[in-house]
Structure 1
Amino acid sequence: MIVPAEVVEYDPRWPLWFEEIRARLTPYLGDLPHQVEHVGSTAVPGLAAKPIIDVDVVVPTAELVTLAVKRLVAAGYHHEGDQGIPGREAFALPSDPDHYHHLYVVVEGNKPHRNHVVLRDHLRTNAADRERYAVRKRELAHLLTTDRPAYVDGKSALVEELIATAGGSQPVGGPRRTES
């Protein structure tokens, strides 16, 4: 399957594609405590994006990551390690994917999971930032066919700003209360 190399307008089929991917994963994850979350730009209605579905398999503890990895490998995915992002295990697609997607295993509330969810939820509710992000992606889209790392780098400062604005330094669910 060819990696999509364009930024397109939001497609209402993307949530349906996510559900198909989740359905394919479910038998392999079975009784493993987990959630499968649609993250990334395709999870934000109205946001222009590369037609790549980002999927987080979220486990409650770090001890379950190894088991999740083994089960996803059994499903035909190829484990690629953390790709330089501690706390996020990445996978290459199986030989017969239904839809192009990125798959990750994360621990609930860890930094990669938190950032995925916080950014997604912020962009779902903030039209101005959603448009700023879409504009930036369109400006950089020409790099997708020649220099994908430059595309990612070109978005990174804005992504970091949006995560910070949305409270990305907080655990999922908001700040934790402490007793005084």
Structure 2
Amino acid sequence: MIGQKRGTVSLIHYKEEWSEIFHKDKNMILQILGNNIVDIQHVGSTAIPGISAKPIIDILVGLKNIFETESFISKLEEKNYKYRPNASTKDRLFFIKGTEDFRTHHLHVVQHDSNEWNRMIHFRDYLRENVNVALEYNKLKEELAVKFPNNREEYTKGKEDFVKQIEKLF
């Protein structure tokens, strides 16, 4: 099962089906973005076996040229990925899949091998390789989810110090 109401925080334990869902969308994204893609990765907590996550699949797309966007934004929107310019930055284009009441995917489009790409990949890999740290992160997330079930912003803010400490390692 995937999907969660925007702004809420409800964690469920890792599901193997999350990887299958990622691969299904990965293939569709490859067809749309074609030759501009360098790599597509499953990131975020749904990509880390053994920990709980908001059941929203995070997909990271690394492009050769992030500025060649006009050709694919409309194609992604045709496949139900809605572009969110207000949530995008100069280094990342952000898309969501699903409705406001039932978000299922977050799509992050960045320049391959950029700081944003490396940050997301290294954080995921570090937690996959360091089970005790992943469990510590999981405990923090579960505590924050209980404290902020209807405030995703505060939940996210509560994880920042932990994430920054890990990011200092790479």
TM class by shorter-chain length? 0.7 to 0.9
State whether residues 25 and 75 of structure 1, in contact with CA within 8 Å, keep that contact through their aligned partners in structure 2: no
Decide which of 75, 81, 92 is 2:79's aligned counterpart. Answer: 75
Identify which range, 136-145 or 104-113, moves more after superposition.
Answer: 136-145
Decide which of 68, 89, 96 is 1:92's aligned counterpart. Answer: 96
Higher strand share: 2
TM-score by length of 1: 0.79
Decide which of 44, 47, 50 is 1:40's aligned counterpart. Answer: 44
Q: What secondary structure, in the 3-state scheme, does the structure 1 residue paired with 2:26 have?
A: helix
Aligned-residue identity in percent: 27
Shift of 1:27: 2.5
State whether residues 28 and 75 of structure 1, in contact with CA within 8 Å, keep that contact through their aligned partners in structure 2: no
* CA deviation profile, 1:1-33 (whole Å, cap 9, x unmatched): 643731121111111111122123233223333
State whether residues 29 and 68 of structure 1, in contact with CA within 8 Å, keep that contact through their aligned partners in structure 2: yes
Decide which of 137, 145, 160 is 2:149's aligned counterpart. Answer: 145
Residues 23-172 of structure 1: pairs in structure 2 closer than 5 A: 23-81=27-85, 83=87, 85-93=89-97, 100-165=104-169, 167=170
Shift of 1:79: 1.1
- Cα 1:108–1:32 change in 2 (3 A) is closer
The gaps in structure 2 that reach 5 residues or longer are: none
The gaps in structure 1 that reach 5 residues or longer are: 168-180
State whether residues 59 and 65 of structure 1, in contact with CA within 8 Å, keep that contact through their aligned partners in structure 2: no
1:84 & 1:74 partners in 2: Cα distance? 19
Q: What secondary structure, in the 3-state scheme, does the structure 2 residue paired with 1:100 have?
A: strand
Shift of 1:65: 4.2
Structure having greater relative contact order (Cα 8 Å, sep ≥ 6): 2
TM-score by length of 2: 0.83
1:121 & 1:86 partners in 2: Cα distance? 25
Q: What secondary structure, in the 3-state scheme, does the structure 2 residue paired with 1:151 have?
A: helix
Identify which range, 68-77 or 19-28, moves more after superposition.
Answer: 68-77
Give me the CA root mean square deviation: 2.3
